Amino acid sequence: MANGLLSRLSRAFRSFEQAIDIIFGRGFPPGGLCAIECNHVTNQVQPVILPGRSLKDVLNDAFLWAVPKKRRSIEKRLMRRFGYPKYNWKPPVPKTNILECNKCGHNYEAGLLCGHCYEIVKQETLEMQTAIQQELGLSPVEQDVIVLYEGEKDKATKDFWKNQRIVELPKKRPDWFNQNLLQSTTQQSSDDKNVKPKDMP
């Protein structure tokens, strides 16, 4: 019985190697698959063996292993998510860490950013990036780019803005976007690793 199993395995591997050779153009199909007689050509032309390319390397490069063979049904997906009431029921638990944003009034989860405010910041950043690309192009940035809104350039003299890369947006500055956020800090960095508020004892 073991000999029969080994012989079947060897035949399967032999046919598999023939298929690999046919796919990669390194041999001719067997006589039963040929439309014309090519046994004399097969005897003359030897398959080209690429150096350093074994059957294992070819299989690893050409095939994707561990792929699901069947689609998981909706019932199975719902059971994995919510469980089964008779054995292991996993009902959806309501969240108790929901807070209200002080700026926009939308709800958000504690420890995360407010989604509504974050979308506003993304839209404003996209407008700034578009304006910078239209004004300065894709040249390398060797200096800092200063984004100014309507009426902010008149607050300083022309000598102050000289030799600076300035991009102006034709609208008012949003209330949440403070101009001080663009200024560099004046405090020196500390090497102390103990971060503790001054009010605490």
pLDDT tens profile 149-164: 888 888 777 777 777 7
Rounded Cα–Cα distance for residues 40 and 180 (Å): 85
pLDDT of 20 over the 60 cut: yes
Who contacts 116 (Cβ-Cβ below 8 Å, separation ≥6)?
Answer: 101, 104, 106, 108
Which ranges of 46-187 would DSSP assign to H, the alpha helix?
Answer: 55-62, 74-82, 115-136
Q: In the 3-class helix/strand/coil scheme, how is 47-83 assigned residue by residue?
A: CCCCCCCCHHHHHHHHCCCCCCCCCCCHHHHHHHHHE
Q: pTM of the full predicted structure?
A: 0.46
Radius of gyration over alpha carbons of the chain, in Å? 35
Residues 169, 125: contact at Cβ < 8 Å? no
pLDDT in tens, 160-187: 777 777 888 888 888 878 777 656 666 6
* pLDDT at position 137: 75
